[in-house]
Chain A
Amino acid sequence: MIKKHRNLLRYSFDCLSRYRMRTAVIVVTFLMATTMVSAVLFTKEGLEREAEISVKMAPDLTVQYLKAGRVELIPIDYADTIAKVDGVKSVVPRIWGYAGISTYTFTVIGLETSSIPTYTTFGSIESGRFLTPEDAGKGNIVIGKLIAGLLNVKVGDDIILLSESVEANKFHVVGLFSDASSIYTADMIVMSIEDARKFFRMPDGYVTDFAVYVEDYEQPANVAAKMSFMPNVRILDQDLLLRGYKAAYGARGGIFVTLWTILLVGAALVAFSQAVVVGHESKFEVGLLKTFGFSTLDIIEVRLVESLVLGFFATSLGMVLGYVYAAYLNAPGLVDILLGWAFLPREFRLPVYVSWSSVFSIYAVTVLPLLITTVVPAWLNAITDPELAMRRAAA
């Protein structure tokens, strides 16, 4: 019995090399489709997961000021009102915005240096140091790898940054973020809140927004509800930010996955058409096999093994290539679609998450249709009377 199955296995392996054109067509079409689908899925999940992690580290609540439906600067007086709300642990004012350099846009962040914990060690600083309370208003900055690479600056160098009001602002680089933290820090210029106020020419008494931290025993959503009495505020909680991220990456990834799924259906049709063509050619062979004593089940088994080998070969190779394309080559061509308006710094490594669910769904949409589209024609051939099959094939 085992010997019989071993022989059938050998015969089906032999068919793979005998029907070379069919094998090549199926492998190439499935390879192309699965490479792209897997690269998109792995990258989309990586971005979503990274966003999830980053949001967990975000302030519990971010309070912004709305006027006529637009976000504007928030008066610093609001900090006292927010601090009095039951459940609020601390309120940190922030001034932050964007600065353009060539075609790049950088995030300038002003920190209240007095509130930086002195005991903190900054593992993400590669050289130099992080800001201290003594840096307030002194023009000292810590920069990410993107800007450092762009201007070829290191710790101890000065840079001149032109503001929106076309004023030259001189800054001294005291620290450089590490390569490893580039995913968060590549585009950052961190300075004291006083320097940021001067750089953006923000009026005294206003900041960009407030980072609000709530007591451990409180739910951020409950604290946010208690702030509803304050006029003109928009409160963002972590959940809202996360949903925004997922919607953004999900929508982009979804469109792309849909397009490639259509291609997969096309690939399945190609497989079906090849199976029918080869099925016609092999009608004689099937008739002969049945004359020699092969049963219908034996013939189906042969085709089933062929399809399984082909499906797993093409799909696994496609997914491995998709992983290499996304994780090591940063998915050129694909990343623009997924990231939208953003640029991708050279120092930035695309986050790639290979989940079991993605892997098995890709197998499900490739191997299963291939099995159906090859086994069904084989079954139709196998149930035909052998003599009739050989006569039709000869005719």
Chain B
Amino acid sequence: MKKICLMPIIAIVLTSALMIICMTNQTSWQYREYYKEIRYTIGLPSIAIGTNYEGTRNPLLEVFVRSLYDVPGGYDYVVPSSFIDTPLKLREYHESVPGFNMTIRRG
């Protein structure tokens, strides 16, 4: 009896665990710290990752679009180009486009 009941019991346990995860996750989002002081002071509307939308903090879009598609109508490539690849992964792009061959060191 015990052996055949194992799978149904695990199913109930897993489903309950998922419900608990769901509840705790939603509660944590409700009480999330938003760092108001830093956001109001800096006023940069984004999290620390890029998007393919030019209105947001977007490290590479402008340079990428200008360097590869700066032809009349080139801005139409904004969305399709986001599916090509990560520009920084393209060796020739990284090494040849001004602005990306900068560097930094500890002073």
- Chain A residues within 8 Å of B, Cβ to Cβ: 10, 13-14, 16-17, 23, 47, 49-51, 53-59, 62, 69, 71, 92, 94, 96, 98-103, 105, 107, 109, 111, 116-117, 120-124, 130, 144, 146, 151-153, 157-164, 166, 170-171, 177, 180-188, 190, 211, 236, 238, 240-241, 244-245, 247-249, 251, 309, 312-313, 316-317, 319-320, 323, 336, 339-345, 348, 351-356, 359
Contacts and interface: CB of A to CB of B under 8 A. Distances in A.
B88 A103 contact: yes
A62 B45 contact: yes
B39 A99 contact: no
Nearest to B42: A109
A341 B64 contact: yes
A202 B3 CA distance: 74
B75 to A, nearest CB: 7
B88 A343 contact: yes
Contacts of B33: 123, 180
A43 to B, nearest CB: 12
A103 B44 contact: no
B56 interface: yes
Interface string B1-20: 10111011011101101110
A111 to B, nearest CB: 7
- Please classify how large the interface on chain B is, using the bins under 10, 10 to 19, 20 to 34, 35 or more: 35 or more
A55 B38 contact: no
B38 to A, nearest CB: 5
Contact of A71 (B22, B43, B62): B62
Nearest to B63: A98
B51 A98 contact: no
Contacts of B15: 312, 316
Contacts, number: 229
25 contacts: A14-B4, A16-B7, A17-B3, A55-B45, A57-B45, A58-B45, A62-B45, A71-B62, A100-B102, A100-B103, A109-B44, A111-B42, A117-B41, A122-B37, A245-B51, A247-B53, A248-B51, A312-B14, A339-B50, A341-B59, A342-B50, A343-B49, A354-B22, A356-B22, A359-B19
Helix, strand, loop or mixed for chain A's interface? mixed
B42 A190 contact: yes
A350 to B, nearest CB: 9
A214 to B, nearest CB: 14
B55 A236 contact: yes
B51 A340 contact: yes
A56 to B, nearest CB: 8
B71 interface: no
A160 B55 contact: no
Nearest to B106: A151
Contacts of B64: 341
Contact of B48 (A100, A151, A185, A359): A185
A84 B21 CA distance: 51
B107 A170 contact: yes
Contacts of A109: 42, 44
A359 B16 CA distance: 12
B102 A163 contact: yes
A71 B58 CA distance: 13
